């Protein structure tokens, strides 16, 4: 089989295109393939599809193709331009590459697979033998392609959360599709305007389709949801994880205060016990459980706070909002008459938004999907040493977590 016929087949070229020449440079480890078409060939107008005669050709261009036996393979051609009676002079579509691309469709598809598998630009570029800019361009173009194809699907169950972009007060806000486990919208900041910027990216039909939205107890996100989602007050579910986090933090405040007091008296019973009070019992080792039991039985204020925190977990085990509400009021009366000020503060906070805490019993959603995606996002960020450019960071999130159709046609 001749070289031209070989490359004609592996490139998948169909008439009128054919491989006119193949040059092998062993020293440079490169194969140059020239593709042409016969004179007098007509091509469809890219706008209306009408067959048109070739008007002229642009300067010769080249596209990176999949390697041949570890040799870089470069495709060369002069793209034809056609003259359409309706649309004027237009460049004809090329079957092997998308418009303005420097890579063939097959190479881009392979590059996307490598980027997904490696989850780093550096790792992908070492395999693809491309520059950082070239590799990033493929990722960026894939995201733009995927977002352009995205349809306005209903979003019955969503979550909204913040994510630190850098250390300090530097955040982005994300909205997740809890059923598809995808990031659907991103905006800068973590205030009401940030929430508005996210919600405004959805169509009115999508916003009307929302049946439940999980979030922390952020007043900013509550306000934003009420502005955009019809009947949002009945759809907001304050995430169980965040509510229990507030309770756990309160227990730790009690522990720290009591520990300081005991230390002044020469009592070190609470020294090194922070992990024991904050960790679920099922995650403690046998030795840790034994130590916990020993300290808990001494009836310290920290132990009482921990017991109330554990009791609060039962709130989410009720079959309906009414039963959960009765349970909470009983728990609240118990806590509010203690001297555990940090826990009393949490009890009052929950009481203010109780309807949107017990709404879990109706909608049964949490932001667990968001927490999982956030872990994936930070894992990607760590692998590349962090994204200094905020827009690049958001693009990477869409690429890896957006559920987009990334491949070229």
331, burial (CB in 10 Å: exposed 0-12, middle 13-18, buried 19+): middle
User: Is residue 279 a contact partner of residue 289, using CB atoms and an 8 Å limit?
Assistant: no
| 113 occurs within a structural domain | no
| 346 occurs within a structural domain | yes
pLDDT one digit per residue (tens) for the chain, 409 residues: 588 888 988 888 888 999 999 999 999 999 999 999 999 999 999 999 999 999 999 999 999 999 998 899 999 999 999 999 999 999 999 999 998 899 999 999 999 999 999 888 888 999 999 999 999 999 999 999 999 999 999 999 999 999 887 766 688 999 999 999 999 999 999 999 999 999 999 999 999 999 999 999 989 999 999 999 999 999 999 999 999 999 999 999 999 999 999 999 999 999 999 999 998 888 889 999 999 999 999 889 999 999 999 999 999 999 999 999 999 999 999 999 999 999 999 999 999 999 999 999 999 999 888 888 888 888 877 765 556 678 888 999 999 999 999 999 7
**Per-residue pLDDT, 69:** 87
- CATH classification at residue 201: 3.30.420.10
Looking at the structure, tell me whether residues 203 and 293 fall in a common domain: no
What's the residue count for the chain? 409
Looking at the structure, tell me whether residues 261 and 351 fall in a common domain: yes
Q: Are strands 80-84 and 88-91 parallel, antiparallel or unpaired?
A: antiparallel
φ, ψ of residue 312 in degrees (nearest 5): -60, -25
What whole-number distance in Å separates Cα of residue 23 and Cα of residue 4? 10
Looking at the structure, tell me whether residues 332 and 375 fall in a common domain: no
| 51 occurs within a structural domain | yes
Looking at the structure, tell me whether residues 15 and 49 fall in a common domain: yes
Looking at the structure, tell me whether residues 358 and 377 fall in a common domain: no
What whole-number distance in Å separates Cα of residue 159 and Cα of residue 245? 17
| 121 occurs within a structural domain | no
Query: Taking the model in full, what pTM does it have?
Result: 0.86
**Per-residue pLDDT, 42:** 95
What whole-number distance in Å separates Cα of residue 83 and Cα of residue 54? 7
Domain finish residue from 66, 96, 126: 96
| 262 occurs within a structural domain | yes
Peptide bond into 16 cis (omega under 30): yes
| 408 occurs within a structural domain | no
Structure tokens that stand for 171 in this block? 């955040």
Looking at the structure, tell me whether residues 388 and 357 fall in a common domain: no
Looking at the structure, tell me whether residues 285 and 173 fall in a common domain: no
| 397 occurs within a structural domain | yes
| 406 occurs within a structural domain | no
Looking at the structure, tell me whether residues 11 and 89 fall in a common domain: yes
Q: Residue 50: which domain range?
A: 1-96
| HEC assignment per residue over the chain | CCHHHHHHHHCCCCCCCEEEEEEEECCCCEEEEEEECCCCCEEECCCCCCEEEEEEECCCEEEEEEEECCEEEEEEECCEEEEECCCEEEECCCCCCCCCCCECHHHHHHHHHHHHHHCCHHHHHHHHCCCHHHHHHHHHHHHHHHHHHCCCCCCCEEEEEEEEEECCCEEEEEEEECCCCEEEEEEECCCHHHHHHHHCCCCHHHHHHCCEEEECCCHHHHHHHHHHCCCHHHCEEECHHHHHHHHHHHHHHHHHHHHHHHHHCCCCCCCCCHHHHHCCHHHCCHHHHHHHHHHHCCCCHHHHHHHHHHHHHHHHHCCCHHHHHHHHHHHHHHHHCCCCHHHHHHHHHHHHCCHHHHCHHHHCCCCHHHHHHHHHHHHHHHHCCCCCCHHHHHHHHHHHHCCCCCCCC
- Looking at the structure of the chain, the number of domains it has is 3
Looking at the structure, tell me whether residues 268 and 358 fall in a common domain: yes
**Per-residue pLDDT, 368:** 87
Phi-psi region of 335 (alpha: psi -120 to 50; beta: other; left: phi over 0): alpha
Structure tokens that stand for 203 in this block? 């169509």
What whole-number distance in Å separates Cα of residue 215 and Cα of residue 189? 16
Domain finish residue from 57, 79, 96: 96
In sequence order, which residues have a C-beta less than 8 Å from that of residue 322 and are 6 or more positions away? Answer: none
Looking at the structure, tell me whether residues 246 and 327 fall in a common domain: yes
Looking at the structure, tell me whether residues 85 and 35 fall in a common domain: yes
Looking at the structure, tell me whether residues 343 and 197 fall in a common domain: no
**Per-residue pLDDT, 43:** 96
Q: Are strands 212-215 and 157-166 parallel, antiparallel or unpaired?
A: parallel
Domain finish residue from 27, 62, 96: 96
């Amino acid at each position: 089989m001749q070289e031209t016929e070989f490359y004609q087949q592996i490139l998948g070229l169909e008439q009128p295109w054919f491989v006119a020449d193949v040059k092998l440079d062993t020293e440079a480890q490169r194969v140059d393939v020239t593709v042409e078409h016969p004179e007098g060939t007509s091509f469809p107008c890219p706008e209306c599809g009408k067959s048109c005669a070739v008007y002229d050709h642009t300067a010769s261009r080249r596209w990176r193709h999949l390697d041949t036996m570890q040799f870089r393979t470069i495709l060369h051609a002069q793209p034809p331009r056609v003259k359409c009676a309706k649309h004027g002079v237009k460049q004809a579509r090329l079957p092997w590459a998308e418009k303005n691309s420097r890579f063939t469709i097959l190479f881009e598809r392979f590059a996307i697979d490598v980027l997904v598998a490696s989850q780093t630009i550096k790792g992908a570029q070492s395999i693809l033998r491309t520059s950082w800019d070239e590799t990033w361009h493929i990722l960026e173009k894939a995201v733009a392609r995927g977002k352009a194809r995205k349809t306005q699907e209903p979003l019955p169950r969503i979550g909204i959360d913040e994510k630190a972009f850098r250390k300090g007060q530097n955040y982005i806000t994300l909205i997740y599709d809890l059923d598809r486990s995808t990031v659907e919208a991103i905006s800068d900041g973590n205030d009401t305007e940030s929430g508005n910027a996210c919600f405004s990216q959805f169509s009115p039909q999508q916003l009307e389709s929302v049946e439940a939205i999980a979030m922390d107890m952020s007043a900013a996100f509550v306000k934003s949801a009420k502005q955009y989602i019809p009947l949002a007050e009945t759809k907001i579910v304050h995430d169980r994880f965040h509510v229990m986090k507030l309770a756990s933090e309160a227990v730790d405040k009690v522990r720290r205060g009591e520990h300081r007091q005991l230390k002044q008296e020469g009592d070190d019973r609470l020294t090194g016990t922070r992990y024991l009070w904050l960790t679920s019992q099922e995650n403690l080792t046998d030795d840790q459980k034994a130590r916990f039991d020993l300290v808990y039985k001494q009836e310290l204020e920290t132990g009482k706070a921990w017991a109330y925190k554990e009791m609060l977990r039962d709130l989410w085990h009720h079959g309906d909002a009414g039963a959960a509400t009765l349970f909470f009021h009983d728990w609240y009366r118990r806590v509010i008459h203690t001297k555990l000020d940090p826990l009393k503060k949490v009890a009052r906070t929950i009481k203010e938004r109780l309807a949107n805490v017990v709404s879990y019993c109706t909608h049964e959603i949490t932001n667990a999907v968001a927490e999982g995606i956030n872990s994936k996002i930070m894992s990607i960020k760590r692998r590349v040493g962090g994204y200094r450019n905020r827009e690049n960071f958001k693009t990477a999130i869409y690429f890896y977590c957006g559920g987009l159709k990334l491949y070229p046609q």
